[in-house]
Chains A and B, each alone.
Chain A
Amino acid sequence: DTGVSQDPRHKITKRGQNVTFRCDPISEHNRLYWYRQTLGQGPEFLTYFQNEAQLEKSRLLSDRFSAERPKGSFSTLEIQRTEQGDSAMYLCASSFTGNTEAFFGQGTRLTVV
């Protein structure tokens, strides 16, 4: 296993369009996290899953954002009706319950024009 994989690496979209990102965690990890990072800032928590259950959502996650992890493996993050303020790096991380070490993917850089 080569680590947490995110796809695509870069996405440019027009304002108002919908986008979907995918994250494949480390295979034995049952926890999966989404963070958002803007330039010059630390990652901000968006949501996390334990297996297929979404256990926590940040208030940053507006109604336009939805995340799923249907089979407890990969996860998708969808942003509907994108706005310029959504431009950021979207990071996925995974860990295993009982071991708090979280491993991050390379991120998806979203640019809304």
Chain B
Amino acid sequence: QQQVKQSPQSLIVQKGGISIINCAYENTAFDYFPWYQQFPGKGPALLIAIRPDVSEKKEGRFTISFNKSAKQFSLHIMDSQPGDSATYFCAAETSGSRLTFGEGTQLTVNP
């Protein structure tokens, strides 16, 4: 059962543009929502994370927006750069348990 759905599967943006990736979840017991960035041949690296008691979290060019009632959250990458080209995964976790990942979004930022 896929508990975290991610879209789009792939995304192409121009340098300086905004990249937006969306995720939806089903399990209301989830209480931690991280985003991971993965480059080819590497393990996922934590980018930014949010808990459901806040609606938005910003770290540098990266922002998570969280909508608890809709059970959706999204990642916004402002001023996208070619170095941001990677695969991005949303995930969800119940405290004390393990991560459930989305299917991933392959982001390409054209120079």
In Å, the complex CA distance between A91 and B43 comes to 7
In Å, the complex CA distance between A92 and B33 comes to 19
Contact B93 A101 (CB under 8 A): no
In Å, the complex CA distance between A91 and B45 comes to 12
Question: Given A56-B97, A100-B93, do A42 and B43 touch, yes or no (CB 8 Å)?
Answer: no
CB B36 to nearest CB in A, in angstroms, measures: 8
Question: Given A40-B104, A48-B98, do A101 and B46 touch, yes or no (CB 8 Å)?
Answer: yes
In Å, the complex CA distance between A35 and B38 comes to 14
Q: Which of B43, B89, B96 has the most CB of A within 10 A?
A: B43
How many A-B pairs have beta carbons closer than 8 Å: the answer is 53
Q: 8 Å CB contacts to B: which residues of A22-40? A: 33, 35, 40
Q: 8 Å CB contacts to B: which residues of A47-106? A: 48, 56, 91, 93, 97, 100-106
In Å, the complex CA distance between A73 and B99 comes to 21
Contact B101 A100 (CB under 8 A): no
Contact A42 B98 (CB under 8 A): no
In Å, the complex CA distance between A40 and B40 comes to 11
In Å, the complex CA distance between A105 and B34 comes to 17
How many chain A residues touch B (Cβ–Cβ < 8 Å)? 24
When C-beta atoms are compared, the residue in chain B nearest to A91 turns out to be: B43
In Å, the complex CA distance between A4 and B43 comes to 10
Question: Given A41-B103, A41-B104, A100-B93, do A105 and B43 touch, yes or no (CB 8 Å)?
Answer: yes
Contact B97 A106 (CB under 8 A): no
Contact A56 B98 (CB under 8 A): yes
Among candidates A43, A44, A93, A100, residue contacting B95 with C-beta atoms closer than 8 Å: A100
Binding site for B on A (CB under 8 A): 4, 6, 33, 35, 40-45, 48, 56, 91, 93, 97, 100-107, 109
Between-chain CB contacts (< 8 Å), 16 pairs: A4-B43, A6-B43, A42-B91, A42-B102, A42-B103, A42-B104, A43-B89, A45-B98, A45-B99, A56-B97, A56-B98, A100-B32, A100-B93, A101-B34, A106-B43, A109-B41
